[in-house]
Structure 1
């Protein structure tokens, strides 16, 4: 009985812990724990590496801004943007109130009138379109002026200075002339006349109201779908334009390296825009680091493409005029800076998508970081295919007038592709496509290293959990309220029924002692011996 009670005594806590820690299969169990330890230590190490790399990029960006900050000096104004007095063009707003046909070379064109009744010769039959405009801004606001637009009939004739009409209807404006209608908003430039009074000429259409309407529609659509994150992205977009207008363009005009200015500007935009739109997190940090590294790679690829393809960028009229009036600017460097800034938006789109995909897949139950990387790469391959199309078609759309011009010129297709203007757009597409293709595995790898798969986390928790106690030797008391104490509502564990106590064996029944054997009666004694002793 005593030995039975000792056998039921539970082990001490130290013995139970040693028994749980004892390897069940030798080498296999200890190797599993070492892999779990490595997986648990990888995320903190990756976090430190990413934070350190971003800190270095941030310090370099701040140093670049300080060294390249523009001085704010004056720069010469190109001729096409210069007024008659040699300064900048002064423009005023106006609105078209009436139109009629008339003779060309009207003496009232551009002059100021107090009323809209301006005398027009040959009214109703002339080859020019006489347009009366009401001035709505500037010193002559509330007054009127006359604009003249020649039609195709004005250039047809038989004289030596006349040319035959080839395209368009006779009453259509000549090529290069604006098509005006009553109610259109226009902008007019002012130049001093011979009498010292200003003369007004057509400068451009007024687009202030329509631009505001489309901007409101754009912001409303973004905010309606993306809510507060969309609003933050719009604020980041405004910041990007401020960086370009206040730092990038003035620094390049000051003669700083366009490549260095483009890299610093892009880094400043990325730091603010990404964290502002997507929040400060390791997911955003992985996308930011992937974008910055891909941007540096795009810069090296751009330099290689410009050098090997001998791209000059001088086929553009804007670049030629800029070189004439700002001779200190490197045209090749400006072309390279355009490549870098042009790939900024596409890289940002790809990297943030890959980082989000990797973190979501890891949280959805991927068993390991390698599985997370492979699953996110499947998403990235689809993204690469669609983004390359977007990149190429965007550049092709911007060069569509040029392609039509080359088509009319009947140049060979090979000459068209190798011309400087088309080759520049092709190089942009090539560099952007390569940078996108390389940014996908780079960003995905960074995000997979930072994310901790939920499948690996569950396996690690299961490996580190203590073994179940021996029900024969030790039983844990059941919780009094399992719904509150257990994180998952489960029924309490079944208690093993205790064996009934063993009863001691009963002693055998005691037998009554046997009676002594009876002795046979002796015969009676006679004589003297008959008396008892």
Structure 2
């Protein structure tokens, strides 16, 4: 405990000033909340007499489209479409809700589904379809999934899992109240993303993992990774001309405000997108160094770093393709569509549709990979600087700094032999027993 206290004081000398500077920057960048310059049409806004209603589908059938009634009245032939006979949630007679052709081809609407539909009955007299399908009501399955997730996390991770979920809620609040409004008001995206990310990491790491030297070490590595990611994101956004114009939502935002820049949104998104994975690898790497040190406190710093980096390399190998697969899964419809085009692979990967995802994967991966050795080095420096001293006056590196380790440690501990592999007393006892049997 004394060692941990000294390590905490040493790290506080770096993290406290950084935290103060971050909070000052956050206050200076805090958005005013004025959105008068922003004009976005609400797709769910309705005219007078029109409403979005909810109801339960009782039956799905094929029939004459209500929207083709004007054609029938003019002597034409009615089109056939899918109709969901729906019981309104507020009561009343069944209403024939016309399902869009795209959705009808998937057979997604079934009896028992709760849906939202556009009610035009009060404004249409013998014209188009008075009831049109809008969306499903997903409240029950989503809430059930969220509750199941919370139960599983708390059951396995106990109080730490609960703190992590509360920290996640706090991170979402920072995004909603600071980052997003700041982007709308035209704040500097690089500073906005970096300051917001650092504040989130301070809160999430300390709240979920507690205030300790391990957490502080991981936080330093995370901040370094964020700095690398931010620098790469700024360069990539400009050099690769990531304009975001391949997305229809980008066109909506561009037309909504003169102060809103899609490139700024992409830059900020590149910084924030790697937060979760970066936090994961740094806290794991920091914990690995501290556990190895506690099991073999007299191991040299160089050997301790090499042992921890073997763990880090495995983590790098697994996490890099984790990021790639996560982005590929999110962009699967775009990947399928682009794969159908008759284009060269390089042209496809650098096209406007995929360039942002490719850049996001590469930028996040570089920041992640570089954060691991730095976090490991910081952790080793801290544990060796505050760790127990040997009688010879070294820093736990053995006699005369030779890097040798004692043959016997405290009960339950182990040594790091020249090969760098941790050998516990249980394994040595089993080896001696096998030799006696032979």
On whether the aligned pair clears a TM of 0.5, the verdict is yes
> Which residue of structure 1 lines up, in the alignment, with residue 317 of structure 2?
385
> Which residue of structure 2 lines up, in the alignment, with residue 265 of structure 1?
196
> 1:458: how far off?
7.0
> Which residue of structure 2 lines up, in the alignment, with residue 167 of structure 1?
none
> Which residue of structure 2 lines up, in the alignment, with residue 121 of structure 1?
none
Pick closer, same or farther for the CA change 1:462–1:301 going to 2, 3 Å.
closer
Aligned partners of 2:42 and 2:61: how far apart in 1? Answer: 30
Pick closer, same or farther for the CA change 1:69–1:150 going to 2, 3 Å.
closer
Q: Is the Cα–Cα contact under 8 Å of residues 57 and 112 in structure 2 kept in the other structure?
A: yes
Pick closer, same or farther for the CA change 1:423–1:74 going to 2, 3 Å.
closer
**Residue of structure 2 aligned with 1:404, choices 330, 336, 346:** 336
**Residue of structure 1 aligned with 2:27, choices 33, 41, 66:** 66
Provide structure 1 residue ranges, at least 5 long, that are not aligned to the other structure: 1-39, 110-124, 153-171, 465-486, 489-533
- In terms of fraction of residues, the more helix-rich structure is 2
**Residue of structure 2 aligned with 1:146, choices 96, 112, 115:** 96
Give the length in aligned residue pairs: 383
**Residue of structure 1 aligned with 2:149, choices 203, 218, 224:** 218
Aligned partners of 2:206 and 2:67: how far apart in 1? Answer: 60
**Residue of structure 1 aligned with 2:123, choices 180, 194, 197:** 194
Q: Which has the larger radius of gyration?
A: 1
**Residue of structure 2 aligned with 1:358, choices 278, 289, 304:** 289
In the TM superposition, 1:57-456 aligns within 5 A as 57-74=18-35, 76=38, 78-79=40-41, 81-85=43-47, 91-105=52-66, 127-136=80-89, 140=90, 144-149=94-99, 173-174=104-105, 179-189=108-118, 193-194=122-123, 200-366=131-297, 367-452=299-384
Pick closer, same or farther for the CA change 1:291–1:98 going to 2, 3 Å.
same
Length-normalised TM-score, structure 2: 0.78
Q: Is the Cα–Cα contact under 8 Å of residues 97 and 117 in structure 2 kept in the other structure?
A: no
Q: Is the Cα–Cα contact under 8 Å of residues 60 and 85 in structure 2 kept in the other structure?
A: yes
Q: Is the Cα–Cα contact under 8 Å of residues 350 and 436 in structure 1 kept in the other structure?
A: yes
Superposed CA offset, 1:7-46 (max 9, x none): xxxxxxxxxxxxxxxxxxxxxxxxxxxxxxxxx99995x6
Q: Is the Cα–Cα contact under 8 Å of residues 363 and 453 in structure 1 kept in the other structure?
A: no
Superposed CA offset, 1:479-517 (max 9, x none): xxxxxxxx99xxxxxxxxxxxxxxxxxxxxxxxxxxxxx
> 1:92: how far off?
3.9
Q: Is the Cα–Cα contact under 8 Å of residues 124 and 130 in structure 2 kept in the other structure?
A: no
Aligned partners of 1:60 and 1:239: how far apart in 2? Answer: 20
> 1:96: how far off?
1.0
Q: Is the Cα–Cα contact under 8 Å of residues 362 and 369 in structure 1 kept in the other structure?
A: no
Aligned partners of 1:143 and 1:251: how far apart in 2? Answer: 48
Pick closer, same or farther for the CA change 1:67–1:151 going to 2, 3 Å.
closer
Q: Is the Cα–Cα contact under 8 Å of residues 313 and 420 in structure 1 kept in the other structure?
A: yes
Provide structure 2 residue ranges, at least 5 long, that are not aligned to the other structure: 71-77, 396-409, 412-438
Aligned partners of 1:62 and 1:358: how far apart in 2? Answer: 30
Aligned partners of 2:118 and 2:177: how far apart in 1? Answer: 26
Pick closer, same or farther for the CA change 1:227–1:48 going to 2, 3 Å.
closer
Pick closer, same or farther for the CA change 1:276–1:191 going to 2, 3 Å.
farther
Length-normalised TM-score, structure 1: 0.65
Aligned partners of 2:322 and 2:99: how far apart in 1? Answer: 40
Aligned partners of 1:299 and 1:135: how far apart in 2? Answer: 51
Aligned partners of 1:322 and 1:178: how far apart in 2? Answer: 33
Pick closer, same or farther for the CA change 1:142–1:462 going to 2, 3 Å.
farther
Q: Is the Cα–Cα contact under 8 Å of residues 98 and 133 in structure 2 kept in the other structure?
A: no
Pick closer, same or farther for the CA change 1:107–1:312 going to 2, 3 Å.
closer
Aligned partners of 2:282 and 2:175: how far apart in 1? Answer: 22
> Which residue of structure 2 lines up, in the alignment, with residue 56 of structure 1?
17
